[in-house]
């Protein structure tokens, strides 16, 4: 293992990677694994990696798992890049989508949970709890089921039906909660210590980020080590963006790429706390977004923990932040489907943000832009209506 320590992203306090960790004991900051990157660069190269199988575990030297026997896998493929037709992305000329819906459980959350469950298995954890808008809990339930762990999923009652069913049939104990993910978190926090559950909340442990890093590694390799100029990522809690950014930074330090792409987050106008904080030049969120409401459940996070880190990722990469309406999201889901692309509402928000960006001059038409389509539409077809009477054949 090439891990040197785990460091607080706020006060730089260091922790042992061999201990079970949540957040910084001194300041509550998010913890991030640190690697001996010089040694990684001696052990592997871009060239040697070419001969390894293209799966999520290919960059194992940059993951925190000590022994391969602890890896809990459901078969994680490289997700494909799909070129998007000009008609969808006018006036932009070079736009690809990374289709994360191909992963187990149909979303990118599988990446974070594959690493989290593997590392927790290594550390002897057997019982976990998570507050979630749905997809993160489903991914944790799937990997937990694979590892034989007890998973407690705290989910808002109005979360997408499929994700609730997923958690239940995967064997998780489902706790449905009135209100939002913040209410789910409050209930879980009340119960977790008395039951001895490990808190797998977004940004409150260092393990999930490590899984999301693999998106950066795959993207860099798929772009032949010249990653796109900009990436649009749908953002709720911010963990995906933080992981993506961390992965690219490690590649820059390894000397394998020159620069981290600009990171542009997409949120919903019904819940856009990070977009607002970014444009107000705030370093951190000061208050929760009031009356959060959007069809994109994963983006309905009124008060993300460690918001300073997502904002840092956007600023350090010279990125931006764009909010789009639910109508624009639905329209984008439909246009993507017309091109054969399966995008859930969160994922479709990236295309809506690209279209909206024209108003703000965020991109040059020639820039190489990548949309991270974080999940499949298969769980959300109920959001698209069809009049069956009109389809009935009169022949």
Closer Cβ to Zn ion, 25 or 165, answer by number: 25
Closer Cβ to ligand PLP, 84 or 244, answer by number: 244
- Give the nearest distance from C-beta 371 to ligand PLP in angstroms: 12
Pairing of strands 31-35, 127-131: unpaired
Residues in Cβ contact with 279 at an 8 Å cutoff, skipping those fewer than 6 apart? 321
Q: CA-CA distance, 356 to 360, in Å (whole number)?
A: 8
Q: What are phi and psi of 83, to 5 degrees?
A: -70, 135
Nearest-CB residue for ligand PLP: 298
Unique residue bearing structure tokens 């999520």: 56
Closer Cβ to ligand PLP, 29 or 234, answer by number: 234
> Where does this chain bind Zn ion (CB under 5 A)?
8, 10-11, 13, 24, 26-27, 29
Site string for ligand PLP, 88-127 (x = CB under 6 A): -------------------x-x------------------
Work out what residue 239 binds among ligand PLP, Zn ion, none; the CB cut-off runs from 5 to 8 Å by kind.
ligand PLP
- Give the nearest distance from C-beta 16 to ligand PLP in angstroms: 26
Burial profile 275-301: b = 16 or more Cβ within 10 angstroms, e = fewer? bbbbeeeeeebeeebeebebbbbbbbb
* Reduced 3-state DSSP string for 50-89: CCCCCEHHHHHHHCCCCCHHHCCCCCCECCCEEECCHHHH
Interface with ligand PLP includes 202 (CB under 6 A)?
yes
Written as six digits, the tokens of 175 are 């706790």
Q: Shortest CA distance to 57 belongs to which of 101, 118, 99, 147?
A: 118
Per rule CB under 6 A, count of chain residues that contact ligand PLP: 19
Interface with ligand PLP includes 135 (CB under 6 A)?
yes
Interface with ligand PLP includes 235 (CB under 6 A)?
yes
Closer Cβ to ligand PLP, 228 or 237, answer by number: 237
Contact residues for ligand PLP, defined by CB under 6 A: 107, 109, 133, 135-136, 202, 234-240, 298, 344, 346-347, 374-375
């Amino acid at each position: 293992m090439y891990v040197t320590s785990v460091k607080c992203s706020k006060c730089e306090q260091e922790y042992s990677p061999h201990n079970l960790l949540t957040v910084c004991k001194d300041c509550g900051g998010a913890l991030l694994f640190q690697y001996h990157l010089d040694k990684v660069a001696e052990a592997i190269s871009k060239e040697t990696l070419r001969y390894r199988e293209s799966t999520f575990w290919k960059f194992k030297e940059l993951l925190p798992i000590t022994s391969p026997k602890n890896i809990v896998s459901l078969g994680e493929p490289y997700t494909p890049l799909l070129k998007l037709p000009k008609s969808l992305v006018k006036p932009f000329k070079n736009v690809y989508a990374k289709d994360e819906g191909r992963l187990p459980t149909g979303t990118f959350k599988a990446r974070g949970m594959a690493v989290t469950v593997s590392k927790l298995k290594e550390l002897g954890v057997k019982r976990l709890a998570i507050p979630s808008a749905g997809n993160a809990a489903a991914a944790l339930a799937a990997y937990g089921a694979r590892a034989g762990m007890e998973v407690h999923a705290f989910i808002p009652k109005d979360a997408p039906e499929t994700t609730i069913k997923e958690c239940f049939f995967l064997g998780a104990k489902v706790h449905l909660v009135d209100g939002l993910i913040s209410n789910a978190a409050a209930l879980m926090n009340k119960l977790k210590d008395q039951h001895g559950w490990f808190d797998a909340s977004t940004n409150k442990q260092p393990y999930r980020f490590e899984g999301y890093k693999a998106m950066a590694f795959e993207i860099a390799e798929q772009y032949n080590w010249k990653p796109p100029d900009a990436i649009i990522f749908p953002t709720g809690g911010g963990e995906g963006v933080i992981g993506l950014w961390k992965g690219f930074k490690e590649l820059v330090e390894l000397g394998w790429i020159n620069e981290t792409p600009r990171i542009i987050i997409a949120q919903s106008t019904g819940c856009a706390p990070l977009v607002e904080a970014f444009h107000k030049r705030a370093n951190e969120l000061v208050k929760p977004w009031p009356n959060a409401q959007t069809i994109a459940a994963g983006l309905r996070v009124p008060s993300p923990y460690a918001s300073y880190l997502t904002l840092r990722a956007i600023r350090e990469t010279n990125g931006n932040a764009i909010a789009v309406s639910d109508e624009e999201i639905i329209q984008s889901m439909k246009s993507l489907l017309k091109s054969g692309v399966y995008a859930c509402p969160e994922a479709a928000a990236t295309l809506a943000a690209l279209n909206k960006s024209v108003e703000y001059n965020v991109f040059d038409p020639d820039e190489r832009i990548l949309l991270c389509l974080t999940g499949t539409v298969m769980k959300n077809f109920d959001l698209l209506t069809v009049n069956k009477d009109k389809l009935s054949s009169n022949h």
